[in-house]
Structure 1
Amino acid sequence: MSIQNRSALELETSWTPATEGRAMAYALRLKNNSGETLREFRLCVSGPGRVDPTTAVEGGEVGARLSNFTELLPPDGFALEPGESWTITVHGLSWSFKHWTDGARSAYLAFPDGRTLAVSAAPTKLTGGNAPLKRGVEAYPVPAAAPAPMSIIPWPNDVSVSGRRPVPAGFALVAEGAEPEQAARAFTALTEALFAVEGIIRPVSEGGVPVQLLLKDVLGPEAYEIAFSTASVSISAATRTGLLYGLVTLGQIWRGARHFPDTYSFPSDGHIFDAPSMGWRGLHLDVARQFYGEAEIRKLLAILAWNKLNRFHWHLSDDEAWRVEIDAYPALTEIGAWRGEGLAIPPLLGTGPEKSGGYYTKAAIRGIVADARTFGIEIVPEIDVPGHCFAMQQAIPSLRDPQEKGSYYSVQGFPDNCINPAREETYAVLEAIFAELIDLFPFKTIHVGADEVPIGAWSGSPEALAKLRDMNGDAMSEAHARRLNVITNTHGADAIDGSGAAVLQAIFLARVQNFLATQGCVTGGWEEAAHGNVIDKEKVYLCGWRDVQVSAALAGEGYSMVVCPGQAYYLDMANSPDWDEPGASWAGWSAPEMTYAFDPVAGWSDAQKMNLRGVQACIWSEAMTDRAVFDRLVFPRLSAIAETGWTKKERKSWDRFKASAGLMPVLYGYPLS
C-alpha cells in the first residue's frame, strides 16, 4: 500500500449535544478517496476531547485508549473500498464538547505490520449549523479619538503631561554606569526582538533624540520616573529593571504617536511617576502538552517584558511529556520528551504518528534564563509531582511500587500516574533532579505542582498502604485499599481532603519541601499543596486556581498566594461560549473585557491581602493545537492581566485599554480568520 496524498484519506467529525430523549453523539466519518481498499486498520485519533472507555459505540468499537488518544476499530472483516466511507458514532465522552477545538485534531490509520497512513482531520462541526471558525488575534483597531493622549499598557499610576511635540525619529540612549548601561542594552535587545525595523533605538546621526538614564536611589526596585521637555527626555530609577520599565513606557508612547499620530501624541512637557501595585506579575506556560521551541520562548519573554510582567512559571513536566535535560536520568528526555505511534507515549493532543516533541538542553535553558533576567523576569521551573507523572514513570519505572496492583485514573484519564511517596527511591530521584534544576534557575524558587492527585492514588501499593498504617492506623489503610479499581476523579480533581491519598501526598510534600529549604529554595505549589497543612508557610507560596474565595481562605490561613483563577486567568478558556471559538470550557469562558474587569481580591479582608503575592496568567496547552489558536486565546487577555497586576484599580479603564491593545505585540501574528 503506497497512498502518499494526505487528502486521499479524510476524517470528518461532528458533535450532536444530548437532548431530552437523545444521547450525545460524536460521529467520525472516514472517507477513502484513494484507489485502494483498506483492511485491518485501526483509526487513531487524538483530542483534546476524551472518549469514555465504557461508552456505547455504533459502527465499530473502542480499542486502546490513553487520555485523549483513542483507537477506533471497524467490525471484523470490514473493508473500506475506494470512494466509500465508514462512520463510527460514540455516545459517551469524558465531558461534552463546547468548542470546535474539542474534537479530533489529528488522525491516522495504523496497520498490523506497523505501517501508518496519514488522515486529514477537519475541525469538528456542530450539528445544526456553524459560524466560521475563529483563529488568530481579534482586531482591536485604534480609534480616531482615544480616551487618553498616549498609548501605554499597563497604564501608569501618576501621569501629568501636556503639550505635543513632533514624534522623534527614535531615541539615542545616554547611560553612564553599570545599571544604566545594562538597562540600555536590555531595551535595545527588547526592541530588536519585537520591532526590529521600526528603529526605536537609533543614533543621533539618524535623528535619535537623547534620553538620559539616571539612578535615583529613593525609588522602589521596579519604579521609574520620566521627565519630558521640549529639549530632552530623562528616565530615573533605582535599578536596571526600573530604568527598563521606564524605557518600555517611553517606547510605547513613541509607537502610538508614530503609527497613529492623529490619535496619540508625544508630550512636550510633564512627568510620569510609576510603580507596580503587585510584586508578582506572572505568566505560566505549559510546554508539556504542546512543545514550544527555544525561539518561541525567547520572543514570549520579550512580550512579557513589554507588558512589565516579571515572572515566568515554566511548566516543564506533565503526564504528556518531560521537557528538561537532566544529566542523572537521560531517559527522561530520551523517552519522556517524545510522542508517536509505537512509542512509550502515544500521539496526544493533535500530534500524529511520527515522532514529535522536544526538550530544552541545559545550554538552551541557561541562555533563556540570562535573557529573562536581562528583561527583569525571574523564571520558576515546575516539575509537577507526585501526580501528573505518567511520562516520568515511562522513563523511570521504578518510581512505582513493583508490587502495586490494580489501577486508578487521573481526571485527565491517565492510569497510575503518581510517583510513590512510600519509596525511598522516589526521593533519591527527585533530589537529584531538583539539584540540577537549582543549578539552572538562580531565582531559587522551585514549583512542585502537587495538584490533581486522584483520591484512589496508591490504593493498590503495599508500600503505600503500609506507610498509611504506620502514620494513621489500620482503619485509614484499609479504607484506602478499598478504592482499588474504583473509577475516581471524574469530577472534582482536588476533592481528596481527609483521604489516604491526601495523607500520603502530605508526607511527600513535607519531605520534598524540607529538601528544597535546605538548598535555600522557596517551594511553589498549586492550591492542593495545602492538603494536610504540613508545609512550612514561611518557605512556600501557592497558586490559587479555582476561585478567589479559595485563594482568600488560604491567604487567611497564612499561605502566600498568587491568584490565577481558572474562570478568568486561564488563557486556554475560550473567549465566549460559542462553538466557533477555540479553547477549553471546564472553568467557563472569559471575554477580554471580562478578564480585564476581574477583581482578583474581591471580598478579601485586609488581613488576607497581606498574604497576596500577586497575579498570574496561565496558559495550559491542551487546546493550543495550532499557533493561530494560541494567538486567539492569549492576546489581548495577557495584557489585561498585566494591567491588573500593575495599575491601581481606580486608574484602570477598559475603553482606554481597548484603544491601545492593538499596538501590543503578539507571539505569532496570525490575523483573525
Structure 2
Amino acid sequence: MTFAAKSDYLLETLWVPVGTADRSVYALTLTNNSDRPIKGFRLGVSGPARIDPAAEVEGGQLLVRLSNYAEFAPPEGFELKPGATWTLKAHGMSFEPRHWTDGANAAFLVLSDGTNAPVAVLASRAHGDNAELKRGAAVYPVPKVAPVPVSIVPWPQAVAVSGQLLAPPGLDLKAEGSEASAAAKAFADLTASLFPVEGIVRPAAEGGFPVELSKASHLGPEAYTIRFSPAGVAISGGSQTGILYGLITLGQVLRGARSHPGTFVFPTGGEIKDEPALAWRGTHLDVARQFYSTAEVERFLQLMAWNKLNRFHWHLTDDEAWRVEIDAYPALTEIGAWRGHGRKIPPLLGSGPEPTGGYYTKAAVRQIVALAASLGIEVMPEIDIPGHSYAMLQAIPELRDPEEKGSYHSVQGFPDNCLNPAREETYRVLEVIFDELIELFPMRAIHVGADEVPLGAWSGSPEALTRLRALAGDEVAETHAKRLNVVTNTHGADEIDGSGAAVLQGEFLARVQAFLASRNCVTGGWQEAAHGNVIDKAKSLLFGWRTVEASAALAEEGYDIVVCPGQVYYLDMANSPAWSEPGGSWAGWSDPEKLYTFDPVEGWTDAQKKHLLGVQCCIWSEPMTDRAVFDRLVFPRLSALAETGWTRPERKSFKRFEALVGLMPVLYGFYAAE
C-alpha cells in the first residue's frame, strides 16, 4: 500500500542494501499511536520480500516464516508505550527488496489476549532514495502531429486511406448474416462497457454513420477489410471474430478523429486490409497470488479484445490459493481460496488477519468463458502441478505419503508443496478435477504448470523413493534421498533436469498428459514440462519463460512453443531498475520501448519458427495489491505485446506506437502524476 490508513499502530520498513552498509538490513519499525501500552504481542507481516528462516534478527525473534509471511515477537518483557517505537532489523533475506512494492504491504498485531489489531503500513523506502513512488499508468500524450493519419493499435498490415470527414458522433451498424450480427452485438456491448457515455454505436436517428458488415469466405478467420466512402463504411471479415476486429479498428479510428481532430482523420476513401502475424497472442493472469473479481476479469477480457489479443491463460491455482469451484472436492475452495491468521494458509502478499480471498463458481467461469468467446478469445485454464500445490495439499492432506519425513522447500519458501507422483490417489483426484474443468472450458487445452519443482521434492517419501528406484535405479534414488532436509530453496533450486525430482515429475506428466489426451485435450506446460523428454510433443504446448534461446532449443526438439521470456514479457517486472518503480526485477526489467522492440525469435532458424505459435505476456500478481500498481505495470506494455503479436516486424514503429497508445484504455483508470 502507498498511504497508511488511520490506525493505532503504524509500520514503516526501510531497506539498506549492501554497499550502503557493511551488510544488508531490512528494518521494520512499529509505532504505538494508541493511548495505552502493549506487551506480550506479536507482529505479523506480509509482502513479496522474504526473510530467510535462518536470518539474524536484532531487536526481536522470528517465530514463524512461511514464504512471504513472517511473525515476530519482541524481547521477553518488552512493553511498547504510547508514542514509542520498536525496531526489528533482519540480516538475511531469501528474496531481497529492489522496488518499493517488494517490502511489507500488510501487517497486524496479535495481542496478548489473542485478538488481532490492524497495523497501518507505509510503503517501503530504500536508504538514500527519496524519489516519489510511482503509481498509475504512464501518460503518453497524443502529439499535435502524428506519424500516421489514423489511430490504430495494433497497427494493421496495410493502410491506404484518403480524405477527411468530420468525425461522426457514432456508428450505425447494419449486419448481414448471423456472424455479422453477433459481431455487431459484441462490439456494441464492448464499447458500451469500455466507453459508456461516448455512444460509439448509435442509430442513424442519433447521427450514426452507416457501417455495413458482412462475412467474406476468402478471408482468414481473423482477417478483415475496411472500405471507406463519403456515404458509409463497409467491413468484411473471415468470421465473426474477423468482423469484430474490423469494428474495433474502426472504433479506434473514430475515437482518435473525434477526440483529436487536429491530429487524426476519419477517412472518406481508401481501405484497410489486415490480418494477424501470429496465431497465439496471449495474456496470462495470475489470480492465485491476488484475487480478481468476475467483474475485473471480464473488464480485462474486454481490454484484451480492444488490443486484438486472443488467448487468455487463466492461472487459477498456486501455492497461495485455489480459485475454481470443484464439486467433488469442496475443501479446495473452502480452505484453499482463503488466507488469514490462524487459517491453514496464512496472510500472504498483502492480506491481513481476516479471511481474504475468493474463488470463481462454475457459473462465474461459464459467464467469463462465454464473454471471452464473444470477443474472439479462447480461455486456457492452468492448474499448477505437481509443484506450486501448497494450497491444494492444505485442502486435501491425504494426498501426502503418510510415511513422508523431513522437509523440502520451493524457491518461494513453501514447504513440501508438490503432489506425490508415486501415489495412485494423486491421479484419481486429478482426473476428477480435470473432468470437471474440461466441462467448463471448450478450448480443450489444459495448462498443468510443471514449473519450479524443488530439487529436493519427495526426497523423504518412501513411496516416491521406491518408485524412483524402479524408474532410474538405486544410485539415483540414493542420491535423491540425501537431499532430505537440505536447503534447496535458493536460486537455481528449480533447475532439476537430470535429477531424481525430474525423473518423478516426468512420469507424473506422462500420466497426466495421457489422461488429458483421452479427453481430446492438449497439455500445456511451462518449459520445465520437457524435462526428460517424456511427454508427447504432438499433444503438448510449451511456454518458454526463461530465455529466447531456451525456447528455440525446445522448438528445435519439436515442441510447439509460445514465447514469454520473463526478462521482457513478465509484466510484474518493473519498468526500470529504480526503487521508485513498482514491481519486481528478479527476471529483469523492461519499459514499453524495450518490450516493443524486443525480437521474440531472434536467432531462430526457419525450422524452429515452424513450431512458434505466438507470444504471450504474463501478469504475476505478487505486487498487485495496489490496483494503481496494476495499471502502472500492465499498461501500455500490454499494447506493446499486442502489436508484436499482430503487426509484422517490418511494419512496426515505436515512434508511431508512442503517438497512438495514449488513446488505449487501462483497467482501473489510474494514471501517473508525471
TM-score greater than 0.5 by the shorter chain: yes
Partner of 2:584: 584
Show the counterpart of 1:379.
379
Matches within 5 A, 1:41-52: 41-52=41-52
- Residue identity (%): 65
Q: Is it true that 1:427 corresponds to 2:427 in the alignment?
A: yes
1:464-479 maps to which residues of 2 (within 5 A)? 464-479=464-479
CA deviation after TM superposition for structure 1 residue 671, in Å = 1.8
The correspondence of residues 253-652 of structure 1 with structure 2, limited to 5 A, is 253-652=253-652
Q: Which residue of 2 aligns with 1:246?
A: 246
Compute the displacement of 1:8 (Å).
1.8
> CA RMSD for the aligned pairs?
0.9
* Alpha-carbon separation, structure 2, partners of 1:30 and 1:558: 56
Q: 1:95: Cα distance to partner?
A: 2.6
Contact 1:49 1:102 survives alignment (8 Å)? yes
Corresponding residue for residue 129 of structure 1: 129
SS in 2 for 1:197: coil
State how far apart, in whole Å, the 2-side matches of 1:150 and 1:114 are.
63
8 Å contact kept, 2:411–2:494: no
The answer (yes or no) to whether the contact 1:130–1:579 under 8 Å persists in 2 is no
Q: How far apart are residue 21 of structure 1 and its match?
A: 6.7
Distance in 1 (CA, whole Å) between partners of 2:463 and 2:557 is: 32
Whether the 8 Å contact between 1:628 and 1:668 is mirrored in structure 2 is yes
**Offset from partner CA, 1:306-334 (integer Å, 9 cap, x none):** 00000000000000000000000000000
Alpha-carbon contact 2:50-2:96 (below 8 Å) kept: no
Are the counterparts in 2 of residues 571 and 637 from structure 1 also a CA contact under 8 Å?
yes
User: If the length of structure 2 is used for normalisation, what is the TM-score?
Assistant: 0.98
Looking at structure 2, the residues matched to 304 and 476 of structure 1 have their Cα atoms a distance apart, in angstroms, of: 47
Q: Deviations over 1:602-623 (max 9, x none)?
A: 1100000000000001000001
1:183 alignment counterpart? 183
Is residue 510–residue 534 contact of structure 1 (8 Å, CA) maintained in 2?
yes
Q: Which residue number in structure 2 is paired with residue 86 of structure 1?
A: 86
TM-superposed CA distance for 1:473, in Å, is: 1.1
Deviations 1:336-380 (A, max 9, x none): 000001111010001111111000000000011000000000000
Cα distance in 2, alignment partners of residues 184 and 591 from structure 1: 35
Deviations 1:102-152 (A, max 9, x none): 110001101354300001110111111310100001110000100110110
1:211 equivalent to 2:226? Answer no
Aligned residue identity for 1:571: L
Q: Distance in 2 between matches of 1:6 and 1:196?
A: 35
Task: Tell me the distance in 1 between the aligned counterparts of 2:375 and 2:480.
Answer: 49
What secondary structure, in the 3-state scheme, does the structure 2 residue paired with 1:94 have? strand
Task: State the distance in 2 between where 1:282 and 1:122 align.
Answer: 35
DSSP 3-state at the match of 1:262: coil
1:583-635 residue CA offsets vs partner (Å, 9 max, x unmatched): 00101110111011111001100000000000001000001121000000000
Q: Does the aligned pair in 2 maintain the 1:134–1:582 contact within 8 Å? A: yes
The CA distance in 2 between the partners of 1:212 and 1:454, in whole Å, is: 57
- Distance in 2 between residues matched to 1:167 and 1:260, nearest whole Å: 10
In the TM superposition, residue 231 of structure 1 has moved relative to its aligned partner by 1.1
Aligned counterparts of 1:171 and 1:20: Cα–Cα separation in 2: 60
| Contact residue 39 and residue 112 of structure 2 kept, 8 A | no
Distance in structure 2 (CA, Å) of the matches to 1:399 and 1:222: 44
Name the CA distance, whole Å, in 1 between partners of 2:451 and 2:278.
25
Q: Which amino acid aligns with 1:226?
A: I
Within 1, Cα distance between the matches of 2:20 and 2:156?
53
Question: For 1:250 and 1:20, how far apart are their aligned partners in 2?
Answer: 54
Any idea what SS the aligned residue of 1:13 has? Answer: strand
- Secondary structure at 2:95's aligned position in 1? coil
Q: What do the CA deviations read for 1:58-117 (whole angstroms, capped 9, x no partner)? A: 111111110000011100111101111100101110132110011100011013543000
Name which of structure 1's ranges 273-282 and 90-99 shifts more when overlaid on structure 2. Answer: 90-99
Shift of the 379–605 alpha-carbon distance from structure 1 to 2, 3 Å rule, reads same
| Contact 2:44 2:109 (8 Å CA) reproduced | yes
CA distance in 2, matches of 1:102, 1:299: 27
Helix, strand or coil for the counterpart of 1:628? helix
Where does the alignment leave 5 or more consecutive residues of structure 1 unmatched?
none
Whichever residue aligns with residue 563 of structure 2, its letter is: V
Q: Deviations over 1:494-527 (max 9, x none)?
A: 3101100000000000000000000000110000
Q: State which drifts further: 137-146 or 111-120.
A: 111-120
1:289/1:622 contact within 8 Å kept: yes
Equivalent position amino acid for 1:179 in 2: E
Query: Structure 2: how far apart are the matches of 1:113 and 1:416?
Result: 32
Q: Cα offset for 1:47?
A: 1.1
Helix, strand or coil for the counterpart of 2:154? coil
Q: Distance in 2 between matches of 1:150 and 1:494?
A: 48
Deviation at 1:20, TM superposition (A): 7.9
CA distance in 1 between counterparts of 2:253 and 2:505 reads 50
CA-to-partner distance for each residue in 1:34-77, whole Å, 9 max, x for gaps? 11111111111001100011011111111111000001110011
Task: Name the counterpart of 2:197.
Answer: 197
CA offset at residue 192 of structure 1?
A: 1.0
2: distance between equivalents of 1:627 and 1:225?
37
* 642-651 vs 161-170, greater mean Cα deviation: 161-170
Shift of residue 489, structure 1, vs aligned partner: 3.5
**Partner letter of residue 314 of structure 2?**
W
TM-score, length basis structure 1: 0.99
1:557-589 superposed Cα distances (whole Å, 9 cap, x missing partner) = 000000000011000000000010000010111
The residue identity in structure 2 corresponding to 1:506 is G
Q: Distance in 2 between matches of 1:273 and 1:114?
A: 67
**Separation in 2 of the partners of 1:158 and 1:169?**
26
Deviates more, 1:516-525 or 1:470-479: 470-479
SS of residue paired to 1:475? helix
Q: 1:6: how far off?
A: 4.3
Q: CA deviation at 1:191?
A: 0.5
How much has 1:636 moved relative to structure 2?
A: 0.1
Distance 1:302 1:596 in 2: 22
Distance in 2 of aligned mates of 1:21 and 1:587: 25
Give the aligned length: 669
TM-superposed CA distance for 1:493, in Å, is 4.0
Matches within 5 A, 1:155-170: 155-170=155-170
Matched to 2:559, the amino acid is Y
Deviations 1:434-465 (A, max 9, x none): 00000000111100000000010000000000
Q: Which residue of the partner structure matches residue 9 of structure 1? A: 9
State whether residues 413 and 489 of structure 2, in contact with CA within 8 Å, keep that contact through their aligned partners in structure 1. Answer: no
Residues 27-46 of structure 1 aligned to structure 2 (within 5 Å): 27-46=27-46
Question: 1:155, 1:508 → 2: CA distance?
Answer: 43
Contact 1:6-1:118 within 8 A present in 2 as well: no
Local SS of the residue matching 1:485 = coil
Inter-partner Cα distance in structure 1 for 2:340 and 2:660: 43
Matched residues in 2 for 1:405 and 1:631: separation? 44
- Mapped contact 2:60–2:74 kept (Cα < 8 A): yes
Question: Taking structure 1 as reference, are residues 154 and 668 closer, same or farther at Cα in structure 2, changes over 3 Å only?
Answer: same
Please say if residues 37 and 82 of structure 1, whose CA atoms lie closer than 8 Å, have aligned partners that are also in contact.
Answer: yes
8 Å contact from structure 1 (residues 502, 532) kept in 2:
yes
